[in-house]
Structures are given as C-alpha cells and as structure tokens.
Amino acid sequence: RVLSLELNKDRDVERIHGSGINTLDIEPVEGRYMLSGGSDGVIVLYDLENLSRKPSYTCKALCSVGRSHPDVHRFSVETVQWYPHDTGMFTSSSFDKTLKIWDTNTLQSADVFHFEETVYSHHMSPVATKHCLIAVGTKSPKVQLCDLKSGSCSHILQGHRQEVLAVSWSPRHEYILATASADSRVKLWDVRRASGCLSTLDQHNGEKSKASSEAANTAHNGRVNGLCYTNDGLHLLTIGTDDRMRLWNSSTGENTLVNYGKVCNESRKGLKFTVSCGCNPEFAFVPYGSTIAVYTVFTGELITMLRGHYSTVDCCVFQPNFQELYSGSKDCNILAWIPALREPVPDDISEKSLPQQHLNPAYEDAWSSSDDEG
C-alpha cells in the first residue's frame, strides 16, 4: 500500500491555516483526529473520518485555536502532540517560549510551562506508565523535563553544547530519551540517572583516525535537526544538515551504515519526518524541498518522491490503520496521500494478458518463464 501512495483526488483537508504548517499529529487511540500547528500560532483540530460516506469528501476542521483566542501562541507553533492515552488533552510548544497543555473539550489552556529560550521541540512518551514527563528542546543546550503531574520542570539533562533541535522518547523503554542538537551530537539518556547521558552516538563507531580534525562522537557533520525511532524502538533514524540520514541500533548505539544517498536538508530548525508502522519493509517519509522522499528504512533505497505541494514541506505524519500519509507545508495546505486503489482483476484472466502498468515494478518477477529459451 505504501508503494502505491498517491495524492488523493477525492479527499481534501479543509484549508484553515493562513500561513505555513509546521507540525501535525494524529492521536494514537482511534487514529481519527489530527492536530496541526501553524507558523502564525494557530492550532487546528481535524476529524479524518468520512462521515458523509461519499467517495469524495473533505476532512473537516472541528475547531481551532485562532488568532483571536485568548490563549493562542504569540509566535510560530513548532510541535503539537496528543496526550498518548486519550484525546481529552493535547500539547503544543512555540517560539513564544511556552509549552501549553490544552483541554480538548473546552479548547482552553489548562497549564503553561514558560522557558527562557525559544522552544524547538517537545515530546511525551507513547509508552510511559510510571512517569508523565514531557521532554523539551530549546535554544539552550539543556534538555528540560516537565512533569505533567506536578506542573513543574522537574529536572534538566546537561551535556549538549548548543541548542537542542529535536527530542524523542523511545517507544520501547519509557525512561530512554534521544536528543539531537546543533552541536552535531545525538545523545541517549536514561532519565532516572542523575549522572548524565547513557551514550553519545558516533557515526564512525569508534574507529576515527587520530589525524582527522573532526570532533569525536559526532552523529553528523552538521546540525542534527531530526530524530525518529522505528516503531519497535530497536532503531533510531537521525537527519542532519550534512544532507545525511543515519540509522542507529538504539541499544548498542552503533551506526548501521545504511546509505540513503544525499538527503537534502536546509531546515534551520527541527525537521519533522516519520516512519511507517506495520509495513514490511518499513519506510521513512522525509520532507525534501517541496516533495516528500520515501525511503526503505533498512536498505536505504529511495522508492519515490511524492509531489503535490507548492512550497517547502515541513512535516508529515503516518496513519497506520489505513497506511495513509498527511503532510503540511509552507503553502498552507495539508495533503492526504492514500494508497491507489488497484482495479480488481477477474479470476478467469490469466496474468499474461494483463496490461503491465498494473504491476508495480518492485513486484515483477525477474525470472523468464518462456520455454523457447531452453
């Protein structure tokens, strides 16, 4: 289904945003409601379900925190995330140096965390049962952990030397956090340990020659501005401004050396990319200029480029129940990418008489089955 993703001509997402869309999130409980955050501070909540039951429909915006809302963010919203366990709450963080906790039903801010610096990214663990910590990456090198229960910033992780552009909790271990920074480093932390980080990922796997001028233990030769775990938590993908994407074994910290080729990345802030879930093989969806590049995670193959946006794509999010993808762009549009429906083939027609364009080349049989060659 992912191999046949295409821009859906029958589905639109209602256009509400008057400026670029930085961040999208689909709630994990039903996979039905989606949040978007814009560079003008506006947050919109959509219902992705087709209530009309018609083949062509528009995903309606149920409500929004618009410019006139008393609690609206003053500057660009960089991250929105649903509370992982129910849809009654969601979170947003912004360049206005705040992280806000929202009550979905009243659409009012239930709590606000204030920071001294611009906020680039925040994340709540999808699997945590023993803690309610929100990790926050800001212009400061210190990673902040905010406790939803107490409403205070409980502690700080120190080790990075420059701003923290992306943070992501492991979907496998509730206390493990990955952070990516402009200092070229990616660090893994066990937040129960006071002593600092578990490991700093090294692109050279410890085999760097002494003669090189490069600093040891860098994940990229540039700012690291994107992080994404695979759904089983066994691997971590990172993206840097060195135009590289790397796949790491998250338990050993080893660079798996998968080569994705040049992954153009000119983002000066965090890059929101995502991976598929429940596919074999798994895919990574990476904003790439005004397109979205689709790679196989474990072999590094560039499968396709999804074209449809008119301007830079800033974020994309995967809907695992139906293997759909939604993307947000500076062109103010959210696009829905849906697997193309194949025409059902009657059973009595043999494969040989089929027009070949139905077959994705990835599935074609390379063996010759004709008898006259032997």
Domain-embedded: residue 92? yes
CATH number (domain holding residue 326): 2.130.10.10
Q: Does 194 map to a domain?
A: yes
Q: What is the rounded CA–CA span in Å between residue 324 and residue 189? A: 32
Q: Does 113 or 153 have the greater pLDDT score?
A: 113
Contacts of 265 (CB under 8 A, 6+ apart): 225, 226, 239, 240, 241, 243, 271
Q: Which two tokens stand for residue 241?
A: 């401004």
Whether residue 302 lies inside any domain: the answer is yes
Per-residue pLDDT reduced to its tens digit, 311-330: 999 999 999 999 999 999 99
Q: Which residues are CB-neighbours of 142 under 8 A, at least 6 positions away?
A: 156, 157, 158, 160, 164
In this model, does residue 194 exceed pLDDT 80? no
d(CA 245, CA 230): 14
Does the predicted model carry a pTM greater than 0.85? yes
Q: Model confidence at 374, in pLDDT bands (50, 70, 90)?
A: very low
Can you point out the beta strands (E) in 161-214?
164-169, 176-181, 186-190, 199-200
Domain of residue 175: give its range: 2-339
Mean pLDDT over each residue of the chain, to the nearest integer? 90
Query: How many domains, the chain?
Result: 1
Q: Which residues pair with 324 in a beta bridge?
A: 319
pLDDT in tens, 245-274: 999 999 999 999 999 999 988 788 889 999
- Residue 357 in any domain: the answer is no
**pLDDT score of 30 more than 70:** yes
For residue 369, tell me if it sits in a domain. Answer: no
86 lies in some domain: yes
Quick one: pLDDT band at residue 341, thresholds 50, 70, 90? confident
Q: CA nearest 204: which of 222, 219, 182?
A: 219
* The pLDDT of residue 132: 94
Is position 354 within any domain? no
367 in a structural domain: no
